[in-house]
Amino acid sequence: NAGVTQTPKFRILKIGQSMTLQCAQDMNHNYMYWYRQDPGMGLKLIYYSVGAGITDKGEVPNGYNVSRSTTEDFPLRLELAAPSQTSVYFCASSPYNEQFFGPGTRLTVL
Amino acid sequence: QQQVKQSPQSLIVQKGGISIINCAYENTAFDYFPWYQQFPGKGPALLIAIRPDVSEKKEGRFTISFNKSAKQFSLHIMDSQPGDSATYFCAADGATTGTASKLTFGTGTRLQVTL
C-alpha cells in the first residue's frame, strides 16, 4: 500500500494564480482531511470529507475548495492565490480516529 | 472555541534523560487524545493515544499521563534518544458515533535530544 500520496511536493505560485493540490489514498478510508501547517501554529483543518460526495468546512476554509468524487481522491483547489496561503499542506485519511498523513506539499505564493 | 494548549514550544534533553511535554484542553466533550510525531519534511505520524477512561498508557519508552479533572495530559519519553528529535503534537477529538472525527491540534513542541 502506498498510503496517502500528495502531489506536487513543492510549488511556487504568483498572486492570483490557481492550482489544485492532489491527494489520494489506497486504504479505503471513508474520512479524508486537508490541513495547513504554519510555523508555530500547529495544524489547522481546512476541509474534510466523510465519504464520496460529502464535504464540509473546517476551521480555515476561506480561499479553498474541495471535491470528493471517489473514495480514493480528495483534491484541494486554491483560487486566486494570496501570500497568506503560503504554507505546508497536508492531506490525511482515517478509518475513524487515527489519521494517516501524506508527505505534504510546500506552497509559496509570491 | 475549542483549543488545545501545548507547552513547551521547544525542549532540549540530554541522551538518556526524560522528555516531558504538556497539553491542556477546554472542551469536556473531547474523548480521544493522540500524540503525533513529525520529522522534518515528513507528515505527522501517530505515536500513542489515550481515552479518558484510563489515567496512563505506556508503549515502550513513551507514556501518556491523563488527568481528567485538571483537563491535562502529557507525553513522557523515557531514556530519550537522538532519534527522538522531532516535533511532537498533542491533539484532541470529540467525535460522537456517526459524526466525523476532527482533531484539534496543539501548536507543537520541537524536541532536540543531545549526545
pLDDT of A46 reads: 97
C-beta atoms of B103 and A104 within 8 A: no
B-chain CB neighbours of A97 within 8 Å are: 32, 34, 49, 93, 95, 101
Q: Which of B109, B62, B66, B113 is nearest to B90 (CA)?
A: B109
Which of A48, A98, A103 faces B43 most closely, judged by CB atoms? A103
Question: B103 touching A, CB under 8 A?
Answer: yes
DSSP B12: E
For B4-96+104-114, the fitting CATH number among 2.60.40.1930, 2.60.40.10, 3.90.320.10, 1.10.275.10 is 2.60.40.10
For residue A108, tell me if it sits in a domain.
no
* pLDDT tens for each residue of A12-61: 999 999 999 999 999 999 999 999 999 888 899 999 999 999 999 999 99
Q: C-alpha grid cell for residue A26?
A: 489506497
- The CATH number of the domain holding residue A61 is 2.60.40.10
Question: How many helices and strands in chain A, by DSSP H and E?
Answer: 0, 11
C-alpha angle A10/A12/A14, rounded to 5°?
160
pLDDT of B20 reads: 98
For residue A107, tell me if it sits in a domain.
no
Confidence of residue A97 (pLDDT cuts 50, 70, 90): confident
Which of A33, A43, A94 faces B89 most closely, judged by CB atoms? A43
The range of the structural domain enclosing residue A26 comes to 4-100
- Cα distances from A45 to residues A16, A76, B22, in angstroms, run 23, 12, 22
For residue A109, tell me if it sits in a domain.
no
Q: Which of B71, B52, B65 is nearest to B2 (CA)?
A: B71
Residues A64 and A48 sit within 8 Å (Cβ to Cβ): no
Q: Give residue limits of the domains in chain B.
A: 4-96+104-114
Residues A83 and A100 sit within 8 Å (Cβ to Cβ): no
Looking at the 3D structure of chain A, how many domains does it have?
Answer: 1
